[in-house]
Amino acid sequence: MGLTTPSPEIGALLLTAFLYGAWRFYGFLRVVFLTPLGALPGPPTPSLVYGNMKEIAAMDDTLLPDTWFTRYGKNLIDREFFMRPRLWSLDPRAIHHVLSHPNDFPRPEEAQRGIRDLLGRGLLSVWGEEHRKQRRILNPAFGPAQIRDLTHIFVEKSIELREYWANATRSGTARVNVNSDLSKLTLDIIGIAGFGYDFNALNPEGTPNELSMAFRKLFMGTPSISSLGPVLRLWFPILKRIRTERGATLEYASQTFQRIGTQLVEDRKAAILKEASEKHLQGIGRKDLQGRDLLTLLIRANMAQDVPESQRLSNEDVIGQIPTFLLAGHETTSTSSTWALYSLSKYPKVQQKLREELLSVSSDTPTMEELSALPYLDAVVTETLRLHPPIAMLTRVAAQDDVIPLNEPFTDRHGKLHSEIRIAKGNKIIVPIMAMHRSRELWGEDAMEFKPERWQQPPEAISAIPGVWGHLLTFIGGPRACIGYRFSIIELKAILFTLVRAFEFEFAVPVDDIIIKTAPLGRPSLLSEPEKGYQLPLILKPYKAA
């Protein structure tokens, strides 16, 4: 039997497939072997498939990057999946360059796609002009005056937790997993302050509602950073057709967010229009109505007659903000308050000094101004966010070939001195938030210690750190910096104010048993009970003045 010649159409198809494959392969070779990054020093790579990813996922104390920086200098590379190099830089000028050009250094597509599938068109997922537009409408909702109006929610909810713990410690002391209770507290806070929705998570008799169930399911199966799945699905989109349990959870969560979000937005719009008609307003001006939550403020700003039609957000954009606020503002703040109680338990003198300052306030329900006027509380919160930033690192990718400027020159593997770093399109860059916050060179020999006193006279070198808040990278910097930083600072202060006045905290387990597990937030877990997941067991005792 002779071979038949393929038809011209099939031939053209095969040629196109071959050229596409060759083009993708060239892209891969460029990123891995032809990049100038290859000359940078860095740790050995244990696996051709996983690169250094398994080492990073397995680290218990997030100290691996510190060890690398000490060994290889301020600019180094590690390798991610399939040997692709990633630049790690502790040089503040390099980080400033990356953060201040978000369109040249966006989030990598595999991470971006997961966020977009889940959150729809919220602020975290959109990029470029869409992002600028959303940010313009959203910014005013996060201003100081709006956070002042929300402070009573932070305080009232914290009092609810205080009462719950008071009940638990009626007979003297109680062992409490504070991580879990603080997570319920911050979920309740973001629900009410974010969009007027009561999760009722702190209510011991309450049953979890639909939104909190969807949210909980979502977090139960967060894949490890060493999981190959997202990369393979990006390279071979056909794999997305295979139904996985995780995929089904994401779909369920995203549909629930969409359905409940639509209802919440409709309710808010109706309430705003009703209020406007009762006040006999001819159209809505941006300052006309009082907002009760971030969503109301956002919808009101979006409906205002002084906003041109082209600058308004679509319904889909507005609904996308609800899961965005939840995802971005819930576990981040609970993780920070957990580490604050960890540090206060480790340093009882700091705990007592803070309590004395807090007890000097006569009211149980302080205003934002009263909370902001407490210097030691401010130093404790800032030091917590330095030593324990909930997000330890972020990844960005070069959208095109670029040259990254540096403050200080470095020497490459071949002994050559460079005053800038050349990077190829497709290479990734790590923003090493925690390593920057713990660098001995920047902070001094006591960088690893929790020392609120350091904020009385912070080292001059940190003024180069390009953060939106406190010369820290906790909330990063540039046009994509955290929009909710004021919200979370006052929330953290309200939580600590209420709880530290009422209780004394000490560790319920040896301190060496407590480690940081990063996936992707750095939360505490016990070496002796890894199967129990995140926890911080503390002994609580009601505080009685001597």
Site residues (vs ligand HEM, CB under 6 A): 107, 123-124, 135, 194, 324-325, 328-329, 332-333, 336, 390-391, 394, 474-476, 480, 482-484, 487-488
> Which DSSP state fits 39?
G
Q: Closest Cα to residue 320, out of 143, 473, 125?
A: 125
Q: Nearest to ligand HEM by Cβ — which residue? A: 484
Which residue, 62 or 333, is less far from ligand HEM as judged by CB? 333
**CA gap 432, 474 in Å, rounded:** 10
Q: Is the Cβ–Cβ distance between 476 and 431 less than 8 Å? A: yes
How far apart CA 358 and CA 356 sit, in angstroms, is 5
Q: How far is the CB of 328 from ligand HEM (least distance, A)?
A: 3
Is the CB of residue 487 less than 8 Å from the CB of residue 472?
no
**Token duo for residue 116:** 């977009």
- Residue where the block lists tokens 């906790």: 474
The nearest distance, CB 142 to ligand HEM, in angstroms, is: 7
Q: Given the DSSP bridges, would you call strands 85-89 and 428-431 parallel, antiparallel or unpaired? A: parallel
Q: Report in angstroms the alpha-carbon separations of 177 from 17, 46, 94, 288, 509.
A: 56, 37, 40, 44, 11
505 is in an annotated binding site: no
* Cβ 330 to ligand HEM shortest distance, Å: 8
The closest of 43, 44, 46 to 69, measured between CA atoms, is 43
298-to-33, 221, 303 alpha-carbon distances in Å:
47, 32, 9
Smaller CB separation from ligand HEM, 40 or 111: 111
* Residues forming beta bridges with residue 503, ordered by sequence position: 542
Judged by beta carbon, residue 474 or residue 535, the one nearer ligand HEM is: 474
| Between 75 and 334, CB nearer to ligand HEM | 334
**Residue 166: CB minimum distance to ligand HEM, A:** 26
Compare residues 42 and 452 and give the one whose CB is closer to ligand HEM.
Answer: 452
Q: Name which of 98 and 161 has its Cβ closer to ligand HEM.
A: 98
> In whole angstroms, how far apart are CA 408 and each of 91, 416, 421, 442?
7, 14, 11, 14
Minimum distance, C-beta of residue 468 to ligand HEM, in the bound complex (Å): 9
| Residues forming beta bridges with residue 47, ordered by sequence position | 51
Give the nearest distance from C-beta 346 to ligand HEM in angstroms.
20
Nearer to ligand HEM by Cβ, of 140 and 542: the residue is: 140
Give the annotated binding-site residues. 482
Give the annotated binding-site residues for heme. 482
